[in-house]
Structure 1
Amino acid sequence: MSAAGGDAIVVSDIRKSYGDLQAVAGVSFTVAEGEFFGILGPNGAGKTTTLEIIEGLREPDSGTVTLLGENPWPRKVKLLPRIGVQLQASAFFDKLTAREQLETFASLYGVGTKSIDDMLEIVGLSDKANTREDKLSGGQRQRLSIACALVHDPDIVFLDEPTAALDPQARRNLWDVLREIKARGKTIVYTTHYLDEAEILCDRVAIMDKGTILAMDTPAALVRGLDAPAHILLEHGVLPADEVREFVGVDEVTDDGVVLTIITRKPAPVLGALAERGTLDGLQVRTATLEDVFLDLTGREYRA
């Protein structure tokens, strides 16, 4: 049974400080049952502290959290079987195989081992069941960590940067695992630095910085709200820049000698004009992405 109204998580004005540092400064949001909810932000934005408060690992200085209808702090034993947590740094038992790791985690939750083969299959480790954890690749260890968080069939899964430090192939493979978890009806709350990943996987995202939420909505709605122009790219020399500037809908044209870039908020008439001139081959259209929204809200300066 989830929280009333279909909300698995209700966060209301939580705050947490460490000395003079205000890590979380009045964060509020809800997560619906079965939703894939992302928390995005630069380093030091307060993402992990927010997750730890929701999970019951930290006590907020003020504010309230309701997790499956319960206050997670102080930690409630009856909540633990209903949540799964995969932390940034995964810890495994020494010298155990992938199967033995899952069997051990299952025993800690007091559940049987009949679902272990299913878990290994879901995360793509069936062929590594008898391989020791320290012999697995980084991507395989990440998938095993998620399997350990799922072995007791929790209602909510918390994932803190689950694809960090993975190569592109391993990261894409893990996306399939996350989609499978969602398809099983689980509520997922996760943090990531990969904006393309969040745009593809999340139902909604909250963008945080300096302990507060700057924006929250579906990725598509956030991108639409940015009202950024489209960039149409043509190979240099296909059309003269002066001719392109006369097209209806063109805001700006630049030509660096390699690529001619057309900036427009009305791409349809511009593309129509290009089609009339037979110049669509090799053309690229770049529209705004969630990364553009993120940078617009949080700035472009480097964060250590």
Structure 2
Amino acid sequence: MTSSAIAVSGLRKAYGDKVVLDGIDLDVRAGSVFSLLGPNGAGKTTTVNVLTTLMKADGGTARVGGFDLAAEARSVRSIIGVTGQFAAVDDLLTGQENLQLMVDLKGASDRVVPELLERFDLVESAGKPAATYSGGMRRKLDLAMTLVGNPRIIFLDEPTTGLDPRSRRTMWTIVRELVADGATIFLTTQYLEEADQLADRIAVLDQGRLVAQGTPDELKRMVPGTHVRLRFTTGAELDTAARLFSGATRDDDALSLRIPSDGGTTSLRAVLDELDRNSVSAEGFSVHTPDLDDVFLALTGHTTEAAK
């Protein structure tokens, strides 16, 4: 596999007059987590369906694992795993039988079944029908089935939607372990925290168009709003500090002062030195930077919640 696990150029897809993907470009590095972030209807699932050969694009080119998506679809399918939005498990089969079915279909070794049951903490429930599994257990079983055959590129389409916080964090741990083992993860999500926690790079998709790409920190730096927040014990200290910093915003109820900053050590040191020169003592300070919700709002004009 080359350094690019997935390379996409000018990808287009439309249904009649409705353009779903409007010429998107992506480059996913091998051994990384790449997150496609966007609200419902942005085109995330369509992108996954095209890149996993489930749907043909109307235009553009793509290579997955070095194979041309259009000309070498069978080779692409041989190296990928896909976990869709909804768990693709057979409710009438037990967890172990679901895994065995995938082993038989892919011609993999039977030894992988107990290994995956152990890895995903499903040993105790292995003999129970999947219909009795909780949402988190079903998602874990679904991902375990995806890993049969040891795919090196794994597509996870909103894998934690509907899960409780504990199950979601369990899935995050599994994703990190997969990457540590050398896999490449293509993750779609509408959860900003999830992309921030997991992704090496993020692409923001809105109405079929990519509006930004970069690391989480790079995207956050695109939006102004980084500031130093000082807390004081008395109103007199707050008054004095407020006079020292032009452009600062005070909060009298919280006895705090918000000072615009780039968040770097030089600017932070300048603030503390100015307080020291004027014999003003702050009870505490913290540096605040924009989060991905701020980025999404700035890029698209709405938050992900409002866009759902």
Q: TM-score, normalized by length of structure 1?
A: 0.89
Q: Which residue of 2 aligns with 1:80?
A: 77
Return the match for 1:171 from 156, 163, 168: 168
Find the partner of 1:303 among 291, 303, 307: 307
Q: Where does residue 115 of structure 1 map in the other structure?
A: 112
Give the one of 59, 63, 72 matched to 1:62.
59
Does residue 101 (structure 1) correspond to residue 98 (structure 2)? The answer is yes
Once residues 92 and 40 of structure 2 are traced to their aligned partners in structure 1, the CA distance between those partners, rounded to angstroms, is: 33
Letter in 2 for 1:108: L
Q: What secondary structure, in the 3-state scheme, does the structure 2 residue paired with 1:44 have?
A: coil
Between 104-113 and 152-161, the greater mean CA deviation after superposition? 104-113
Q: How many residues align?
A: 299
3-state SS of 1:163 partner = coil
Match runs of 1:154-303 below 5 Å:
154-232=151-229, 234=231, 237=234, 240-248=237-245, 251-255=247-251, 257-258=253-254, 260-265=256-261, 266-271=267-272, 277-281=280-284, 283-300=285-302, 302-303=306-307
**C-alpha separation between the residues in 2 aligned to 1:254 and 1:141?**
49
* SS of corresponding position for 1:126: coil
Letter in 2 for 1:280: E
Letter in 2 for 1:296: A
Partner of 2:264: none
Higher mean alpha-carbon deviation, 225-234 vs 27-36, is at 225-234
> In structure 2, the residue corresponding to 1:91 is in which secondary structure?
coil
Query: Structure 1 residues 58-67 or 265-274, which shifts more?
Result: 265-274
Structure 2 residue runs without a partner (length 5+): 262-266
Map Cα deviations across residues 129-170 of structure 1 (whole Å, 9 max, x no partner): 223212221111111111111111111100001111111111
1:68/1:263 CA distance change after superposition, 3 Å: same
Cα offsets for 1:259-287 (capped at 9, x unmatched): 63413214443355668644335x54422
Q: Which range moves more in the overlay, 144-153 or 283-292?
A: 283-292
Distance 1:65 1:264 in 2: 43
Give the superposed CA RMSD: 2.4
Query: Is the 2:120–2:144 contact (alpha carbons within 8 Å) kept by the matching residues of 1?
Result: yes
Alignment partners' CA distance in 2, 1:80 and 1:120: 24
